[in-house]
Amino acid sequence: MLANPKSAEPTTENPWRTHALTSLVMFAAFLDSSLLVIAFPSIRRSFSSVSTAELSWILNAYSIIFGALLVPSGRLADQFGRKKMFLSGAAIFTLASAFCGLAPSAGALIAARALQAVGAAMLMPTSLALVLTAFPMEKRAIAVTLWGAVGGLAAALGPSAGAFLIQSLGWRSAFYVNLPIGLLAFVLGRRLLRESLDLSARALPDFLGVALLIAAVGLVTLGIVASEAWGWLDPHTVGFVLAGVVVLLAFARRSDMVRI
């Protein structure tokens, strides 16, 4: 996922433009996660007929899919182009944010959040790779430090910004705030970003392994979340947790077999 010095493109004329653009998108992704925690009580009131356990998948689905797709997305970006992956991620994240804001039901919101996680997972590793290839070696340390600080800033501003937005405009505004940022990133990214590849990255990600990981974590999470209603010793709870453990073991076995 990180820049390969043998295959990286030459640094851009103004690498700080790349830094500002990728940091802006990362800020939006981190801010979105912080805002959703604040918005959750308001979302629960809007879908009062849906249980809290079911609504928790608004957060769970995003976290599971985002975490599982980070490494595969970075590898695909190395192979097919970091700029292409960044722009695709920005488009998916923006469209999914719009779908979240327009969601008429809890199920639609959960599905849109899952799609949003796909876009965020495409953006995160590629934004860092684009920063690394934009700067000369001697300036990369400060560039990465500032890039990482943006996430901390978003996490710090999230609670106060979220409270203001939700009280003023409702929970849907927590998603709509991503739209201008995503559109700006896509438009400027096409013009400012320079494509780069890692010529040493030849093997595709193990998509079956990724699917097994998502299924395993999802099943265990489902069992834990549902235990509040069913009880820890209920056959459904035990069944989901055990199924998740079995799939996780299959994932571990798969990881031993596949060498990238």
- What pLDDT was estimated at residue 78? 86
For residue 1, being part of any structural domain is answered with: no
48 within domain boundaries: yes
- The CATH number linked to 72 is 1.20.1250.20
**Per-residue pLDDT tens over the stretch 1-38:** 444 444 444 444 688 888 899 888 888 888 887 788 88
Does residue 10 fall inside a structural domain?
A: no
pLDDT at 34: 79
Residues of the domain holding 115: 15-203
| pLDDT of the residue at 83 | 92
Are residues 124 and 107 located together in one domain of the fold? yes
Provide the pLDDT for residue 6.
41
Q: What is the total count of domains within the chain? A: 2
Same structural domain, 38 and 161: yes
pLDDT > 90 in the chain, percent: 27
Q: Is residue 137 part of a domain?
A: yes
Q: What is the mean pLDDT of residues 57-77?
A: 88
Tell me: do 220 and 198 sit in the same domain: no
The proportion of the chain whose per-residue pLDDT surpasses 70, expressed as a percent, equals 92
Domain boundary, last residue among 187, 203, 219: 203
Higher pLDDT, 75 or 179: 179
User: 130 with 42, same domain?
Assistant: yes
- 38 and 112 inside one domain: yes
As a whole number, mean pLDDT of residues 65-86 equals 89
Question: 7 in a domain, yes or no?
Answer: no
Find the range with the poorest average confidence among 53-67, 165-179, 194-208, 229-243: 194-208
> 5 lies in a domain?
no
With 90 as the cut, is the pLDDT of residue 167 above it? no
**Do 73 and 192 fall within a single domain?**
yes
Q: How far is CA 252 from the centre of its chain?
A: 23
Tens digit of pLDDT for each residue in 92-147? 999 999 999 999 999 999 999 999 999 999 998 899 889 888 888 888 889 888 88
State how far the alpha carbon of 206 is from the alpha carbons of 46, 73, 88, 255, 256, in Å: 39, 11, 20, 9, 12
Q: For residues 121 and 67, what is the distance between their CA atoms, to the nearest angstrom?
A: 7
Shared-domain flag, residues 113 and 175? yes
Asked whether residue 249 is domain-assigned, the answer is: yes
More confident residue, 241 or 230: 241
| pLDDT of 256 higher than 80 | no
Tens of pLDDT, residue by residue over 31-57, are 887 788 888 889 999 998 888 888 888
**The pLDDT of residue 13:** 62
Q: What is the mean pLDDT of residues 134-162?
A: 84
Answer whether residue 177 is part of any domain.
Answer: yes
Last residue of a domain, one of 184, 203, 222: 203
Query: End of a domain among 188, 203, 218?
Result: 203
